[in-house]
Chains A and B, each alone.
Chain A
């Protein structure tokens, strides 16, 4: 018990030091590198809290994809010559910011310590209804059954974010190919991984969706794995991004929310809109999850690739 506590205290200290390096470090690129390490350490903290679903999402999305986005932005800003600023923040600003952020942290810490013990939370309520949800993983039950509204709206938020990113496209390349053309040596390490890893990633992704009904995993984690595989293939120069005007691409984008809404409509026929009918819960949830996985993968990959930059 004390060994575990010691490990956790060390982990917390490491998380804080790395987070501070990511926020206050001098160079922009170094800060991003620290941020990715920070994401991995946070995933470790989630493992310690036995939130494996969150740990998977944090490692894949929080550290991996966010890190890729930041590195991509850094390289574009570097080409434009604005990846850094001359001189750091002034000392009075640092002192003022330190005081404000210190107060925020103190107030939050005091709130954490002031909470009463023996909080039940919602886990008894989830455990009670789990048998009727159609799945055994309580997190999946919450995401796709008890709070299906949230998840539907979340998949729509992803779609709207992509539309917003695309809306920054200049007229000349509207509906064109996202991102810049990638060149990699065909006998290089990147190309080799680009050919080697996709089959493995595909198997892992399908397993994550399927296992998500009874164990940690699910559409978001699996979708991120698929998106990462596709980004690797594009970076290795093996295939290029499809044009944003492609009809198949757009169908893949709306498939997840579409199937989700259709199941919601079936629920309406049984009495409650977005209520999953009890007898068919497992097949319905799995079909939503597989459709969502495809849409989430395509949306995440395109969000990271950025707006169209080349004509179709």
Chain B
């Protein structure tokens, strides 16, 4: 497989930037916490794509190995965080009967 050219690398970096924007949008508009966890993961992979694409050194030379190693570390840490967030969310749903933060439940925000 022939590799991507340098212009493609810029394209992927810009895609990463827009992905971060899409993730931020989802994080703000959704009150449901599982959707926020999903949006957080989109932000994360957007950051990884932008970071890695900026270290691309042209077809045949691949991407800078140091960002690659940091990104693999980042993917694993993002999974750890997601697992903990999901466990906390399920616990919250079991205890409180809701999947949103208390201040974002309709009619409860004003009472506080």
Indicate if the CB atoms of A150 and B8 lie closer than 8 Å. no
Question: Residue on B with the closest CB to A8?
Answer: B8
Query: Which residues of B are found within 8 Å of A72, using beta-carbon distances?
Result: 86
Q: For the complex formed, measure the closest distance between the CB of A256 and the CB atoms of chain B, giving whole angstroms.
A: 12
Q: Is A161 a contact partner of B69 (Cβ separation < 8 A)?
A: no
Q: Is the CB of B10 within 8 A of A28?
A: no
Q: Contact between B68 and A139 (Cβ–Cβ < 8 Å)?
A: yes
Chain A residues, CB < 8 A from B38: 22-23, 31-32, 35, 70
> Does A139 contact B34, Cβ atoms closer than 8 Å?
no
Contact, CB under 8 Å: B22 / A23: yes
> Which of B2, B14, B38 has the most chain A CB atoms closer than 10 A to its own CB?
B38
How many B residues are at the interface, by size bracket?
A: 35 or more
A95-103, A231-239, A279-287: which one contacts chain B? A95-103
B12 surroundings in chain A (CB, below 8 A): 8, 12, 45, 48-49
B54-112 CB contacts (< 8 Å) to partner A: 54-57, 59-73, 75-84, 86-91, 93-94, 97-100
Closest CB in chain B relative to A266 CB, distance in Å? 22
Contact residue among B30, B34, B61 (Cβ-Cβ distance under 8 Å from A77):
B34
Whole-angstrom CA separation of A274 from B67 in the bound complex: 20
Stretch at the interface among A189-197, A200-208, A302-310: A302-310
A210 interfacial by beta-carbon distance below 8 Å:
no
Contact A82 B35 (CB under 8 A): no
User: Which of A39, A85, A93 has the largest number of chain B CB atoms within 10 A?
Assistant: A85
Measured CA separation A115–B62 after assembly (Å):
19
Q: Which of B25, B34, B62 contacts A28 (CB 8 A)?
A: B34
Contacts of B100 in A (CB 8 A): 85
12 sample A-B contacts, Cβ–Cβ < 8 Å, listed by A number: A1-B5, A12-B15, A20-B22, A23-B25, A23-B35, A80-B93, A96-B28, A97-B28, A123-B61, A139-B68, A164-B87, A165-B84
- Residues of B that sit less than 8 Å from A by CB: 1-5, 7-26, 28-32, 34-35, 37-39, 41-42, 45-46, 48-50, 52-57, 59-73, 75-84, 86-91, 93-94, 97-100
With contacts A50-B62, A83-B99 known, what are 10 further pairs, Cβ within 8 A? A35-B41, A57-B75, A61-B76, A65-B79, A83-B34, A89-B31, A109-B18, A111-B17, A112-B13, A150-B69
